[in-house]
Structure 1
């Protein structure tokens, strides 16, 4: 193929990748194994959604933003996510290809927009993994303290917080999950299934133990920070809902994806939203919201405050299991996004190499594990959570816009699942996500803009020149190891 001129390269940045060409790259002997059932996929979604949102973020948001109106913040975020989930479900069933919103943007809006959303997803997943690992560390530290084992502050806190130097437990759990993912997605899904069942059981136990201790006086004032606080809280607790995005990253490894993916995406969101509403209502009813400030383990803390110390310890065990499942799914999703972007030539070829035995992208999995472990060991939780949310909201906007565009430009494409009331539902998602982005702190906006600017520099210096969008490749060649095509 002759080298392209700069003008041709510039024009190609707005070129979309046909769905048929995207699908070609999912077959061949170098493809990922299709091993996940509808039940396993749904539990992957619940495993990613239910965890840090309940066991970690609730305390911070209640104390600093929403107060007892935390439940309203979760309802707002859940409603916005429902709009986004319907758009994701349409794309996932139509284009069951690894990459999630990145792939959907490539199919509907063009390469440069795909790169922007892919770069955004790298930020979203990386800092999500770090935040979840910090939460896991908080619960593990609390559990060990209850057993009489006190870990030294320099080894459990980030620099500058309570004499911290490095968050060592956060590093260790990321490395354990990284090793599990290298062994294979089926093995990871089995572990996830077990710990999700434990996690849901613990949540139901918390509701049972705490319900009789609700004191309505703790719900007054209901909105101590006003609607501004509630909406800012909604923007931050959006962090809790990114799991169904992770479900879509498993598209190439799912049996019967046209039917399974919509079930996994929508089903996991519905179950998780119900649990979030129940837990936040009870949590703020048993302990004054102001007491949750500076605690990374609010559910266990709340049970301890009402004198159920054994329940506190049990919740900590369940939370540790549950948060581990979140790590499994998020680390999995991050590696598949890198994998898809590398296959399209936008990232170096090393990221699409598969292990000859386990058939997993081992090198990129190790890279993600190391980078996220560093983030988790050095950054405070709240800064991480805010960065995650702006990335998630931006991804939802792109996917919803893609549904509208593709309905107009490719109306005849087969759509096994159709988002209802297009363009109204995607438009509602775009407007509401934009509003929540506006409610995030200004410093978060600045960090996000800097991240996107770095991404665009990388795109124009490297990715634009290595793009494979115009390569005449077959499905087998799409999956060939670097150097073999």
Structure 2
């Protein structure tokens, strides 16, 4: 077999169905919806609107959020059809293996692994920053050496980031049923924090802070005008990338063909409404320039509201921020779940050592979970929040582009060797191409450092693939059982 044929060798979808049959099918539609909302409404909503408004957009940060919602919604529809036709663990990695071949699947999987790994550290770092703000207001100050990563304000290690990753990984290792109960409860708390902020903050909105809504562009910078909105759109896209965690856990859903598409689209819609509401209130409360370099703009805005009841507002600010910190754990849970399942998929297929593809007596891939925990601890404890926030979106956007193109290959096989999905992308064949184009435009607007990190990550991925994965791949080595063959035959009828 030539090299070209080998890297384009497609995977029999029945094999994935057989391999995923060993996982527990415990996740309901409610669990998946909570997983999606919990991932999307993360540290971003409590930090990025103020930072982006100050650095790039002014009040027009709302426009950037709307553009990102449209872009994410277009990709989400492609994800929904893919997940309905192929509800496999590993999501985009597994889908592209089936549609284009295992080299292209590896590229998508490697891109998503970067997103998930960095997102774990990003969320933990954000939790640490906000928790330290709460502790400071109570008079408890963590020594700088233990409060910040190396090279940041005299720090050696972010101890809080380290602890929360280990704590959440322990929870995930207990199983999906217990994890989903905690996740659902924390999502409710997080949405409550957002609602309280919006309702309280609306009383302090000054319409003068919205003028000019789109500040004039400052020549030689990425601030103001449509140039600033474009830069803000690329920076804020990180807020919407988490819906892929729903698809990544499709192999453990009770009824994935219905629940996964509903959870993906529902989570994006709910997140968009909350992002827009928080942004409008935040930039209306104070001039946007006051949020520059502010890592906790929501709590800061509540504490500085002009009022006759400062003590009450300080208590409200601490209450909202406290609930927000608890709610931030939902995104961390989601990304740890998704990354461990993706790494399990790699090990299951022989793309990395088989150690990562093993499951324990409880049918949980805890070997991959242990590895993800170590990687997250290393990144989260040693790298700064600002560094992490710049590099998450790059790999994700590459994966989104390939998955969007994959819809064309999927349509030719639906009702043949793949079942007919219960959700289909509207406006086919225009929508997948438009989703690809919009995603590409967002990618091109990323910072130079994000693109450089992405290139380095993909070079490393190519080295792993050609030195190990291509030689040890066993994706098509497993036997297809009669039951799986029957399932696919029935889907053709």
Select the residue among 13, 22, 27 that pairs with 2:16: 22
Verify: 1:419 aligned to 2:425, yes or no: yes
Asked if the contact 2:12–2:476 (Cα under 8 Å) also holds between the matched residues in 1, the reply is no
Partner of 2:150: 159
Counterpart Cα distance in 2 of 1:449 and 1:263? 34
CA displacement at 1:22 relative to structure 2:
2.2
1:102-144 superposed Cα distances (whole Å, 9 cap, x missing partner): 1111121211110011111111111111111111001100111
Verify: 1:372 aligned to 2:363, yes or no: no
Select the residue among 431, 435, 444 that pairs with 2:450: 444
Partner of 1:55: 46
TM-score scaled by structure 2?
0.92
How many residues were matched structurally?
467
Verify: 1:197 aligned to 2:188, yes or no: yes
1:48-84 superposed Cα distances (whole Å, 9 cap, x missing partner): 1112121122232222122211111110100000001
Counterpart Cα distance in 1 of 2:433 and 2:56? 27
TM-score scaled by structure 1?
0.93
Asked if the contact 2:390–2:449 (Cα under 8 Å) also holds between the matched residues in 1, the reply is no
Select the residue among 318, 331, 336 that pairs with 2:341: 336
CA displacement at 1:338 relative to structure 2:
0.5
1:221-243 superposed Cα distances (whole Å, 9 cap, x missing partner): 32332211111111111111122
Counterpart Cα distance in 1 of 2:394 and 2:457? 11
Select the residue among 141, 156, 165 that pairs with 1:174: 165
Counterpart Cα distance in 2 of 1:327 and 1:475? 37
Asked if the contact 2:193–2:321 (Cα under 8 Å) also holds between the matched residues in 1, the reply is no
Aligned CA-pair RMSD: 1.7
Partner of 2:240: 241
Asked if the contact 1:25–1:475 (Cα under 8 Å) also holds between the matched residues in 2, the reply is no
* Alpha-carbon spacing, 1:67–1:157, altered in 2? closer, same or farther (3 Å): farther
CA displacement at 1:160 relative to structure 2:
2.4
Partner of 1:254: 253
Unaligned runs of 5+ in 2: 216-223, 485-493
Asked if the contact 2:414–2:421 (Cα under 8 Å) also holds between the matched residues in 1, the reply is no
1:195-249 superposed Cα distances (whole Å, 9 cap, x missing partner): 1111111111111111010012222332332211111111111111122100001
Question: Does the residue aligned with 2:423 lie in a helix, a strand or coil?
Answer: coil
CA displacement at 1:18 relative to structure 2:
2.7
Select the residue among 84, 90, 99 that pairs with 1:108: 99
Partner of 2:221: none
Select the residue among 393, 398, 407 that pairs with 1:394: 398
